[in-house]
Amino acid sequence: NTKITQSPRYLILGRANKSLECEQHLGHNAMYWYKQSAEKPPELMFLYNLKQLIRNETVPSRFIPECPDSSKLLLHISAVDPEDSAVYFCASSPGTVSNERLFFGHGTKLSVL
Amino acid sequence: QEKVQQSPESLIVPEGAMVSLNCSFSDSASQSIWWYQQHPGKGPKALISIFSNGNKKEGRLTVYLNRASLHVSLHIKDSQPSDSAVYLCAVSMGNTGKLIFGLGTTLQVQP
């Protein structure tokens, strides 16, 4: 799915700060960050709709989302922890009403040393 | 908190077989149920959804929903090796924009 691009594709970090980037070319209003740890299903972290943060699940404060415009989403991570090793997916949907189909990017695989 | 459970954990079938995947959920007030397909190293891809009791057919896929028993199933007709993937059941929590995913069923279709 080249309509949602994420960068970087792979990230190996010690206790550093880094930002994940996502851009969607679908004209959608809603954008999401999901975390998928090994052997687990994707879990919602943050949801933006029309650039407003409307869902903030129980996520450590070292994760800070940013939505600079309706097509871009950032995830800033400070002082990563080994438990943060996972694949981080960006997704988008037309809106947030029931039965919206989510479109996922290919993910950023974060490995914490 | 909604819980989504899937069975079986994994499944190996010969090409051309009918595949049946199961999903149970805990909240009868949940909205739509989605099935997503995830190939290794890729993001999940939406396949089909259902909201009302009964069944819905799209191509080789048929989904059945029974809200009374909190159960939904996905059936893949004439399975192909390209269908080999993890299948995730996901429950939409009303107008919250939140999807709760199950752990998935790993399907392998052997040529």
Instruction: Pick A106's closest partner by Cβ from B43, B46, B95.
Output: B43
111 residues of chain B, pLDDT tens digit each: 778 999 999 999 999 999 999 999 988 776 789 999 999 999 999 999 999 899 999 999 999 999 999 999 999 999 999 999 999 999 987 777 788 999 999 999 999
* Euclidean distance between CA atoms A63 and B5, whole angstroms: 28
Q: Do B103 and A47 touch (CB under 8 A)?
A: no
Instruction: Specify the DSSP class assigned to residue B100.
Output: E
User: How long is chain B?
Assistant: 111
Shortest distance, CA A107 to any CA of chain B (angstroms): 6
The tokens for B97 are 């924009």
The Cα-based distances of B99 to B11, B14, B17, B72, B75 in angstroms read 24, 32, 30, 16, 21
User: What are the counts of helices (DSSP H) followed by strands (DSSP E) for chain A?
Assistant: 0, 11
Determine which of A7, A101, A109 to mutate to test the interface with B (most B C-beta atoms within 10 Å): A101
pLDDT confidence band for A99 (50 / 70 / 90): confident
Burial of B69 (0-12, 13-18, 19+ CB in 10 A): exposed
Tell me if B44 and A102 make a contact (CB, 8 A cut-off). Answer: yes
How far is B12 from B3, CA to CA, in rounded Å? 26
